[in-house]
Each structure stands twice: as structure tokens, then as C-alpha cells.
A and B are shown apart, each in its own frame.
Chain A
Amino acid sequence: MSLPDPVAEGVASGWRVLDGAAQTQDLQLSCDVLIIGTGAGGGMTAEVLAEAGLDVLMVEEGALRTSRDFRLLEAKAYPELYQESASRKTADKAINILQGRTVGGSTTVNWTSAFRTPAETLNWWGERYGLKSLNPQTMAPWFDLAEARLGIADWQTDPNPNNSVLERGCQALGLKHGRIRRNVRGCWNLGYCGMGCATNAKQSMLVTTIPGALQHKAGLLTRARVERLLPAADGKSLQGAEGCLLAADGHSLNGQQFSIKARHVVLAAGAIGSPAILLRSQLGGAQVGKRTFLHPVVVSGAVMPQRIEAYNGAPQTVYSDHFMHTQPLDGPLGYKLEVPPVHPLLMGVTLSGFGAGSAGLMQQLPHLQVVLALLRDGFHPDSQGGQVRLRQDGSPELDYPLNDVLWDGVRRSWLTMAELQFAAGARQVQVLHEQADLQSSWKAARAQIMQLPLKPLLARVVSAHVMGGAAMSSQPEEGVVDEYGRHWQLRNLSVIDGSVFPTSIGANPQLSIYGFALRAAHHLRDALNS
């Protein structure tokens, strides 16, 4: 028996898929709607527009990898499926960013956690940014639609031991907690979502809306990097976009160019990629690339007496929002507690320390339990996020300074995680910081955490959620796009991805992007077909 690969079968059956690496000549193409990027925003938009009979062309910088390429192997998955081999970093290198770069974008490699945009976030956007029509009631039907399309539902299986520790810790400390809904159908409960789903159970864009769009005659051009958008002579619209095709290694150039004419352009290259394309096109505007948020994440590891095997089983099924609600939304940063899957390569890279200490910890891998806290950035007046800028070669770089308001959240969340892990029975706990080591009691851990200097590249900070940089606004001068993702200045450009959020979401963002994308795409469909 071998596992089915419906996407590969679809391509073999004649879907309109072009691999940029295989092209020996420049490409000149045209379409009704050009969609740049195939992640949560681009994937959703493509299906809605293609089903409506529009001629859709998707362009993706990454390659088309399908389930037969997913071998549960980190060393293969990270270079093939992630931006910068899963080691993309902020400008001072203090934050490591996990972001997808393949057909399906981050949805192909995410951990399947599905949360609706929290009501307090939507209400804040209404109050603070005048986005009054984006409230929990008006957004609910779009989340319903996304959930139905992607099989988002309660996860019926027991949490794996890694998640159970979080649950037990919350119970012991009296912290509110809950179970995470997941976008899966027929999940095998393996725990390798981050390396691409080998069984096609994860309902990523790769196996849902992109095949849906391709079945409705959409086209897909892969290994093609959009360099710039092409403005029309009137300066108020676009003619299309152009860029270069990549070689089979996925990053060097194959020497051929492409140019695509389109009635409408949808920018969906993610919250670093989309602002970068606007900047390269000199269509910056004062707000482009500003206020880019990360949900900065800090981590605490515990050695448990029992086997945890945090590499096995659905990676995220328990969460706690307790500390999202213990202070005002724009007060000291709130944080959400979850757990990550623990695989050897990512753990080896993420653990602090070197030599015998870290070797000893790695050798206890089956007993390692890890909790993470993601900090809700973008609400406190001092939490302005980062800025996407271009390097000399045109590649994007996110400058995200870590400041006092963030460090305060880091220390508080370390304390919570360590206390929680001891409360759940941990033998030893170590927060990930270059001056921390294993502590055998909550009291000792607390004393150490209070002493740790809060400096970049001493504290381990990571992120898997990039948001903002092309924000929605109610007034043209305050943002980049309106509430439907329509660009304020260019009448046939929409931005439909995580870059439109005016703050961070305060929860894993995939379902927020799906909901906003569906709303924007339906609006665009009606406008283009009228």
C-alpha cells in the first residue's frame, strides 16, 4: 500500500501548472486576476474567483511540493518548504521566524491550530482604527464558511502528553484553558504537521482551495519571484507584474524572466513578502512595511519523570488565554500559552547553551516537555512592532527591536511557564536563555528568572506569526488598504493576506486570514463580475 497524492495526480491529469525552473524562455502571460502568493490569503482568493469563472493565475516563489515529498524529515523539509530554510531572522538576528515558502505557503507547514479572531481584537480595531464593520457578528459568517471549507472542528482525540502537561499545569494553578480546534480530516495523529502532511489530512491550501481553483481552470506558476508591480500610465492602476524565474534549487535564478498582464492584481505574499513587493515597486507610501507584528514567542523546557515524546501526536491541542485577560488590552502585554512539537533538529537549534549541558538535555529528548508563550504585540502604545525594509539586493528584512514593554512580557511569561511546569510534575525546568540552566524547584527557577538579563541573543525569541505591514484603515492616510484589502491609491490592486491586520491577532492567525480573505475575495468577485 502507498499513500495517495491527489495533488500530484491532478497535475498529471492536466492542471495548468508551470514550473518556473523548467522554462527555457521568458514567459509572457495574461489573466483576469493575478494572485501573488499561494498561502492562506492567496489560496482562499484563488478558489472564490476561479469558481466565479474568472481567469485566475497564481504565482508562487516556492516550489510545488506535494504529499509524496513529505518524508517526516526536518533536514529535507526546512530548506524545501520554509523561507530561508526556517532560519529567517529579524535584522539584529534576535528573533527566528518560521514562515512557509512553498505552494500553500505557511498553511502547508503550520501546526493546524484554528482560532477565530478574538472578539476583543476586532472590537479594538473598530474603536481604535475606525474599522467598525469588522466586528464579531459581521465576521462570524466568514469564519463559518472557512471552517466548513477546511474541516475545522473540535479535536476528538486525547491531547498528547506534551499538551496534557499544559492542561494539568493550568488545572493545578487554576488558569483558564481550553482545547484547540484543528483544520484536519482523517488525521493520523502523527505530529509532523511542520514538515508537510504526508497523509493529506491537514486541510491546507495545498490540498483544498488550490486544487479547487486549478479544477476551475486557474493557472499556477511556481518558482517565480515577483520583482515588481507594473504601474499603468495613469499612475492610478496596475498593468500587472514582472519578475524572475528560479532554478531547480529554489533560490538561484534560472536566467528567464516573466511578465504577466492582469485586470486585477492580488498581493498575497505574506506580511514580509507583500510589503517588500510594494517597496521594490516604489509604491511604498508612508505606511508600507510599518507596524509588522510577530507574536514574539519565548520558551520553557521541562524534564518530566515520564516519557512525553513531544514529537508524537497532534502538536497543538491545548491552550490557555488566561494571561490575555489579566490586564487591559493595551496594558502590559498579554500572552497565550501553547506547546510546540519537539523534533531533534529544531530543538537542537533552539535550546540555549552548548557542550555537556545541552547534550545532556538532548539525550533526554523523550522526556522533554516544552511550553511556549506568544506575546500579543501591537496594542500597547510602546509596542509598535517592526518595519520591513529592503536590503541592497532587494531582498526583504524585518527590523524588529525588542524593547522594555516586550521584555517585561518575556519575564512574566517565563515565570508563568516555569511555575506551571513544576505544578504539572516537572523534575527540572529551564527557560531558554543563554544564562539559564536546569532548576530543580519553582523557587530556584523563579530566583534565576528574576536575575536573567533581558538582551537580544541571550533570551531565545522565535516567531511563526508574521502580521501587519500593509494595514487596513478607515482613512487613506492611516493605512495601505481599506477593510476589503483594496489599495487606497491603485484601483485594481488588493492586498489579501496577514499583512492587512492593524495589530497582531492575539491568536494563531490562519483562521483570521481565511475569514478576511473570503470576505475580501467575495467582494472582489462581485466587483469584477458586475
Chain B
Amino acid sequence: MITRRQLIKTGMAGSVVLLAAGFLASPQPDLPAASQGHLVFLQTGDAQIIRSLAPVMLGMAGLALEDIVRGVDVAIANLLPAVQQELRQLFDLLGNRWGRRWLAGVHSPWAQAAAHDLAAFLQRWQQSPLLLLRSGYQALHALINAAWFGNPASWTALGYQQPQQIMGLLP
């Protein structure tokens, strides 16, 4: 059972990781940081991270990846500035080649990373003893799942549909 003291300790360790990440992230971005025209929050490199992780997170092939990227972007744009700032740190950390290699444990650039390496990264963070890495995993999990299952394109495969008796009456 985790005690308050342990919690504070992991929290502090987590902050140290993030500080290091911030330090590493600034000088050597893994990918160009130019913002794509139609995205509000996600930069080119962030979008690639989502594109690479989504099929592994969702356990599905043939996904409409650009829709998922857009869905993640819209979801983040609707969050509080304070939360957006944390997500910016997360994407900067993952987008940086040192962060990707040493904290995420993914050796190839995101676009080339193999599915089993990506799954190993997700599992390490999902099960990490560090609260901060677990929360990083949970953020990616929530964003990608919300972006996909909020999209009606995902519903047929689930056998889900909205109640037909009312849909025709809506404006």
C-alpha cells in the first residue's frame, strides 16, 4: 500500500524527471516543431506521436489516423491552460530524441518505431512505479480513446448506434 510519504517521494522524483525533460527538450527537438495549419495545439511531431501510438493503444489496424489526430487536438484545445501546459511538457519530452530514447525507451524515431517497441513503452509507463509516468500514459490513453470512440466512424465495429426513434427528430 502506498503511503503519503511514498506518494510525495514519487511525486518529487516525477518532477525531477520533468525538469530534466524540460532541459533536454529545448535544444534538440527530434522533429521539426512547426505547427500544422489545421491543428490548434498539436505540432507536427506531436501529431506523429499520436499517429504512431494510436494503432497500438487501440489494438486496431486501418484506423482513420488523421481523424484521431484531429480529435486529440480538439480535445486538448478544450482543456484548461494549466492542463495544456502539462500536455505540452509531455509531448515535448516524447518528441525529444533523448526523452524518447531514455524515458520512453523507444529507440527509433516515432514514425519508424516498431509496434512491439511502442507497446513496450506504453506498458512500462502504464505500470511504472513513478506516478508521473503513469499519468503520462493515462493522458495518452484518454486522448486517443476519446478521439476514436467519440468519432461515429468507430461505432459500427462496436455494434453501437444512437436510438433511431429520436435521431430523425433532432435539428
Measured CB to CB, the residues of A under 8 A from B are 1-3, 68, 71-75, 78-79, 84-85, 87, 92-93, 188, 190-192, 198-199, 249-251, 311-312, 343-345, 347-349, 351, 354-360, 362-363, 365-366, 391-393, 395, 397, 401, 403-404, 407, 434-435, 454-458
CB distance from B63 to the nearest CB of A (A): 11
Ordered nearest first, which 10 A-B pairs have the shortest CB separation? A75-B150, A359-B59, A348-B149, A348-B145, A457-B134, A344-B149, A355-B59, A79-B78, A356-B59, A345-B150
- Sampled A-B contacts (20; CB under 8 Å): A2-B169, A2-B171, A72-B163, A72-B166, A79-B74, A85-B78, A87-B79, A192-B163, A199-B166, A312-B163, A344-B150, A344-B158, A344-B160, A345-B150, A354-B57, A357-B59, A392-B82, A395-B81, A457-B135, A458-B127
Query: Across the interface, which residues of B come within 8 angstroms of A85, CB to CB?
Result: 75, 78-79
Stretch of B1-9, B41-49, B98-106 at the chain-chain interface: B1-9
Residue of A with least CB distance to B151:
A75
**Of B1, B126, B160, which is within 8 A of A365 by CB?**
B160
Query: Across the interface, which residues of B come within 8 angstroms of A392, CB to CB?
Result: 82
**By the criterion CB–CB under 8 Å, are A92 and B154 in contact?**
no
Query: Across the interface, which residues of A come within 8 angstroms of B134, CB to CB?
Result: 456-458
Docked complex Cα distance between A395 and B81 (Å): 9
CB distance from B166 to the nearest CB of A (A): 6
**Of B82, B139, B141, which is within 8 A of A395 by CB?**
B82
Does B80 belong to the interface (CB within 8 Å)? Answer: yes
Given contacts A85-B79, A345-B149, A435-B127, are A68 and B138 in contact (CB under 8 A)?
A: no
**By the criterion CB–CB under 8 Å, are B163 and A190 in contact?**
yes
Query: Across the interface, which residues of B come within 8 angstroms of A365, CB to CB?
Result: 158-160
**By the criterion CB–CB under 8 Å, are A403 and B4 in contact?**
yes
**By the criterion CB–CB under 8 Å, are B166 and A366 in contact?**
no
Docked complex Cα distance between A355 and B134 (Å): 17
**By the criterion CB–CB under 8 Å, are B1 and A354 in contact?**
no
CB distance from B169 to the nearest CB of A (A): 5
Does B34 belong to the interface (CB within 8 Å)? Answer: no
Residue of A with least CB distance to B77:
A249
CB distance from B29 to the nearest CB of A (A): 26
Query: Across the interface, which residues of A come within 8 angstroms of B126, CB to CB?
Result: 354, 434
Measured CB to CB, the residues of B under 8 A from A are 1-2, 4, 7, 11, 56-60, 71, 74-75, 78-83, 119, 122, 126-127, 131, 134-135, 138-139, 141-142, 145-146, 148-151, 154-155, 157-160, 162-163, 165-167, 169-171
CB distance from A493 to the nearest CB of B (A): 27
**By the criterion CB–CB under 8 Å, are B80 and A251 in contact?**
yes
Query: Across the interface, which residues of A come within 8 angstroms of B2, CB to CB?
Result: 454-456
Query: Across the interface, which residues of A come within 8 angstroms of B80, CB to CB?
Result: 84, 251, 395
Query: Across the interface, which residues of A come within 8 angstroms of B58, CB to CB?
Result: 354-355, 358-359
Query: Across the interface, which residues of A come within 8 angstroms of B141, CB to CB?
Result: 349, 354
**By the criterion CB–CB under 8 Å, are A355 and B57 in contact?**
yes
Query: Across the interface, which residues of B come within 8 angstroms of A455, CB to CB?
Result: 2
Docked complex Cα distance between A165 and B134 (Å): 33
**By the criterion CB–CB under 8 Å, are A401 and B4 in contact?**
yes
Given contacts A92-B11, A354-B56, A354-B126, are A348 and B167 in contact (CB under 8 A)?
A: no
Interface residue SS majority, chain B: helix
**Of B71, B75, B119, B135, which is within 8 A of A93 by CB?**
B135
Given contacts A251-B78, A365-B160, are A344 and B83 in contact (CB under 8 A)?
A: no
Q: Which of A71, A348, A403, A456 is packed against the most chain B CB atoms within 10 Å?
A: A348
Interface residue SS majority, chain A: loop
CB distance from A251 to the nearest CB of B (A): 7
CB distance from B116 to the nearest CB of A (A): 11
Docked complex Cα distance between A392 and B149 (Å): 34
Query: Across the interface, which residues of B come within 8 angstroms of A362, CB to CB?
Result: 149, 158
Docked complex Cα distance between A251 and B82 (Å): 12
Residue of B with least CB distance to A456:
B131
**By the criterion CB–CB under 8 Å, are A75 and B71 in contact?**
yes
**By the criterion CB–CB under 8 Å, are A345 and B146 in contact?**
yes
Residue of A with least CB distance to B135:
A93
Docked complex Cα distance between A366 and B156 (Å): 11
CB distance from A348 to the nearest CB of B (A): 4
Query: Across the interface, which residues of B come within 8 angstroms of A435, CB to CB?
Result: 127
**Of A75, A404, A434, which is within 8 A of B127 by CB?**
A434
**By the criterion CB–CB under 8 Å, are A68 and B171 in contact?**
yes
Query: Across the interface, which residues of A come within 8 angstroms of B139, CB to CB?
Result: 93
Docked complex Cα distance between A359 and B127 (Å): 19
Given contact pairs A93-B138, A355-B57, enumerate 10 new A-B contacts (beta carbons under 8 Å): A72-B163, A74-B149, A85-B75, A198-B166, A199-B166, A251-B78, A345-B149, A358-B58, A391-B82, A456-B2
Docked complex Cα distance between A73 and B154 (Å): 13
Residue of A with least CB distance to B163:
A190
Docked complex Cα distance between A359 and B80 (Å): 30
Given contacts A84-B80, A349-B146, are A92 and B7 in contact (CB under 8 A)?
A: yes
CB distance from B150 to the nearest CB of A (A): 3
